[in-house]
């Protein structure tokens, strides 16, 4: 989740052309800083500004242009052509309400629904930070909208819309129509004790959309979860979100939603997987949220610390130090966040 992004609303213009899955121009290369490896070649990261530049695409909803980016694809072929993350689990969302079917036209993809970017985001911290006293998203999905698009060949891509005639996403820094690029704000997190950068576009409930400074997209929650009782193959992967970690901007143990709300910094969430070029990869940009709350006993005993690996969260829960926010067993919280991974510390 990211919290440090002001609203920018320049005039919206038609940008670029994309008829379907098209190759990324040769001039677009992934950046690799001295300390971070960027996962995909179309992502150009700027560590100094904590942003990433992504290729810009144009589609059409009811005949009107919409701008979107592509970050992930369900097939290796499409991921390679687009220079984006390979996310095979996205294929498991086909046939659900979490996917819009796109139609290819000479001008670009014809897409059923879009996003209303006109609302103003409101977030007011609560007495302890989280939960907030107020949380109103800055963008709302139209009925039927989802960032997941099924292309005519069956490929599912993650294509969040970031601008249309109503405005643009709050985390957009610039849209360069001439060169076909979008600069978007990143968020810090962890995976396997390593720092990672990712971007947040959407969430499936208003509270999280407001905290993420992202669009509220209820349809995402129709993406299937891992369910051993039914054998359903998941389209999601897990993310751990601490609610009540330590506070303080300069505190090396700082983490969590309360810190994000009171300190104005990223909550340092813990990703379950990152992209890899493997058909068996469990990575997905659809993060199945697992809210983690330190127990009163853990707080009193001074056992609260920064957690940087998802397995460590499970272990702490097994010891009775972490629960769900309502005191029940730590596990899936029932909502999704669309957070494609961008880079990982070397």
Would 133 be classed as within a structural domain? yes
Q: Which domain holds residue 144?
A: 36-345
- Count up the domains in the chain and report the number: 1
Would 80 be classed as within a structural domain? yes
Q: What is the pLDDT of residue 158?
A: 98
Q: What is the pLDDT of residue 232?
A: 80
Would 26 be classed as within a structural domain? no
Would 16 be classed as within a structural domain? no
Would 24 be classed as within a structural domain? no
Would 175 be classed as within a structural domain? yes
Would 203 be classed as within a structural domain? yes
3-state DSSP of the chain: CCCCCCCCCCCCCCCCCECCCCCCCCCCCCCCCCCEEECCCCCEEECCCCEEEEECEEEEECCEEEEECCCEECCHHHHHHHCCEECHHHHHHCCCCCEEECEEECCEEECCCCEECCCCCEEEEECCEEEEEEEECCEEECCCCCCEEECCCCCEEECCEEEECCEECCCEEEEECCCCEEEEECEEEEECCEEEEECCCEECCHHHHHHHCCEECHHHHHCCCCECCCCECCCCEEEEEECCCECCCCCCCECCHHHHHHHCCCCCEEECCCCCCCCCCCCCCEEEEEEEEECHHHHHCCCCCCCCCHHHHHHHHHCCCEECCCCCCCCCCCCEEECCEEEEEC
Q: What is the pLDDT of residue 48?
A: 87
Would 27 be classed as within a structural domain? no
Blockwise average pLDDT, block size 10, the chain, 346 residues: 35 30 48 80 94 98 98 98 98 97 95 98 98 98 98 97 98 97 98 98 98 98 82 92 98 98 98 96 98 98 98 98 98 97 96
124: exposed, middle or buried (Cβ count in 10 Å: 0-12, 13-18, 19+): exposed
Q: What is the pLDDT of residue 47?
A: 83
């Amino acid at each position: 989740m990211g919290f440090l992004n002001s609203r920018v609303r320049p005039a919206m213009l038609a940008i670029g052309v994309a008829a379907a899955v098209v190759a990324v121009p040769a001039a677009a290369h992934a950046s690799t800083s001295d300390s971070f490896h960027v996962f995909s070649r179309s992502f150009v990261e700027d560590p100094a500004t904590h942003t990433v530049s992504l290729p810009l695409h144009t589609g059409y909803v009811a005949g009107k242009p919409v701008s979107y980016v592509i970050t992930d694809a369900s097939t290796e072929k499409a991921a390679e052509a687009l220079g984006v993350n390979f996310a095979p689990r996205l294929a498991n969302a086909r046939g659900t309400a979490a996917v819009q079917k796109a139609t290819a036209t000479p001008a670009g993809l014809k897409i059923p629904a879009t996003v209303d970017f006109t609302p103003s985001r409101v977030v007011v911290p609560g007495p302890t930070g989280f939960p907030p006293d107020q949380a109103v998203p800055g963008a709302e999905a139209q009925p039927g909208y989802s960032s997941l698009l099924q292309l005519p060949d069956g490929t599912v891509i993650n294509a969040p819309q970031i601008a249309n005639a109503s405005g643009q996403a709050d985390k957009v820094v610039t849209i360069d129509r001439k060169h076909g690029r979008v600069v978007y704000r990143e968020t810090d997190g962890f995976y396997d004790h390593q720092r990672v950068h990712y971007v947040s576009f959407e969430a499936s409930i208003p509270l999280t959309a407001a905290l993420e400074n992202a669009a509220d997209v209820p349809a995402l929650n129709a993406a299937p979860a891992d369910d051993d009782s039914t054998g359903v193959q998941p389209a999601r992967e897990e993310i751990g979100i601490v609610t009540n970690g330590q506070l303080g901007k300069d505190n090396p143990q700082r983490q969590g939603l309360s810190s994000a709300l009171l300190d104005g910094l990223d909550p340092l969430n813990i990703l379950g997987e990152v992209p890899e070029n493997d058909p068996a990869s469990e990575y997905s940009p659809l993060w199945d949220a697992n809210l983690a709350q330190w127990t009163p006993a853990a707080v009193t005993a001074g056992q609260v610390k920064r957690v940087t690996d998802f397995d460590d969260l499970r272990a702490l829960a097994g010891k009775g130090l972490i629960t769900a926010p309502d005191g029940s067993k730590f596990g899936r919280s029932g909502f999704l966040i669309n957070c494609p991974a961008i880079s990982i510390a070397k």
